[in-house]
Amino acid sequence: MKKTLGLLSLILLLYSCDDGDIVVTDFAIKNATLSVCGLEQKVIYATNNDGVYESLSLILDATGAINDSVSNLLITEVNEDGYTFNLNSNNRLIYRIYDGAISNDYFCSNVPPSQPKVLQEFVSGDAGTVTIRVAYSDLSNDNNDADTDGDGVPNNMEGYDPNLSDSEMQDTDGDGIPDYLDIDDDGDNVPTRLEVDPEEGNWEDNGFFDKDVDGTPNYLDADDDGDGVPTRNEVDESDLENLDEGQILNPLNYRDEGDLNFLNKFYSEFGNNPTYIENRINRKIITEVIISGFSLKDSNGNSPDINTNRDYNMGSFNSSFNKTYLRNTDSEEDSEEENPADTVED
């Protein structure tokens, strides 16, 4: 972040209008790494303590698309067009110059600290719009080994194709969740990460585990031991009769002798298991904030208004949140609990 915004009335103006307003084409603080806090209101801010003590903050009313349940998330749904709303009395852009360094708790405290002292403040009016763009940052990387669902199999080996929609991508068990988002690709109630190669633990060196040697690895095989009974049904039928609401019957819990039942082709007792493990994964996103056509007024009325006629990229921030993908439905349920690792670094 550059320190020149504090001198913006001297070096960033393009020309002065007849009415005394200052028209600027850009700000020095831009493309910053933003921080977010607040529940009833969201505060997005960037600070500069390098020579000039200054901040640019956007205070948003936590309504509509704004996430009001998690303090350091803003919007958790990806929309290619972004979310756009107007600057007004509830959604304000504020630029300040201080007499000392600004700490993070200046913006995130219930009662703002008395120090540092604000020397000058410019506040937006009703002109201008805010556009918030959200993109998933867990889909690919330079090594092409991104693993969005964290199941141990990279996206590029699970049929991920950025040119296809989720409904068009590989979905082995046909549950409506593409494999790259599915923690149980074959729908057998045994998580993929436990079926990749439980004996050796490294599929890259040893290949995928295939118990019945039928050419289909366990994590994609609905009948791992080839005994004719689907893996998910190799559970105790008496447990099904006394199934409590919300209880999940997992084949990993059933063993007669030796191998687990679902890996023992000589054991074929079963029940009709209607339960499914929850498909809850951690999604990582990058959020970008762009402000257009706004004006800033000096709170004390001592300086000319500052106007811009260009899009201004305030900056971006990275975050993550838990998301549950429901099987055989298009609806998705977002987490309402704050993720302890909610904010992540670049």
Per-residue pLDDT tens digits for 288-300: 999 999 989 998 8
Tell me the C-alpha distance between 156 and 172, whole Å.
Answer: 15
Q: Cβ neighbours of residue 89 under 8 Å, at least 6 residues apart?
A: 126
Q: Cβ neighbours of residue 244 under 8 Å, at least 6 residues apart?
A: none
- What would the mean pLDDT of 230-239 be, rounded to a whole number? 92
- What would the mean pLDDT of 230-245 be, rounded to a whole number? 89
Percent of the chain at pLDDT exceeding 90: 43
Torsion of the alpha carbons at 162, 168, 169 and 174, rounded to the nearest 10? 160
- What pLDDT, on the 0 to 100 scale, is given for residue 18? 36
Count CB neighbours of 330 within 10 A.
Answer: 8
Position with higher pLDDT, 302 vs 42: 42
Per-residue pLDDT tens digits for 208-231: 888 999 989 999 999 999 999 999
- What pLDDT, on the 0 to 100 scale, is given for residue 309? 76
Asked if residue 280 has pLDDT above 60, the reply is yes
- What pLDDT, on the 0 to 100 scale, is given for residue 28? 57
Tokens encoding 61: 């009313």
- What would the mean pLDDT of 70-91 be, rounded to a whole number? 83
Q: Cβ neighbours of residue 183 under 8 Å, at least 6 residues apart?
A: 149, 150, 151, 191, 192, 193, 277, 279, 280, 281
> Residue 16: pLDDT band by 50, 70, 90 thresholds?
very low
- Average pLDDT taken over every residue of the chain: 81
Per-residue pLDDT tens digits for 110-160: 777 889 999 999 999 988 999 999 999 999 766 668 999 999 899 999 999
The ranges assigned to domains in the chain are 4-136+282-334, 184-278
Q: Which amino acid is at 177?
A: I
SS3 for 136-180 is: ECCCCCCCCCCCCCCCCCCHHHCCCCCCCCHHHCCCCCCCCCCHH
The three-class DSSP label of residue 10 is helix
Asked if residue 24 has pLDDT above 90, the reply is no
> Residue 204: pLDDT band by 50, 70, 90 thresholds?
low
Asked if residue 304 has pLDDT above 50, the reply is yes
- What would the mean pLDDT of 102-116 be, rounded to a whole number? 84
- What pLDDT, on the 0 to 100 scale, is given for residue 264? 93
CA geometry: angle 235, 240, 242, nearest 5 deg: 135
Asked if residue 171 has pLDDT above 70, the reply is yes
**Distinct helix (H) and strand (E) counts, the chain:** 4, 15
- What would the mean pLDDT of 307-315 be, rounded to a whole number? 84
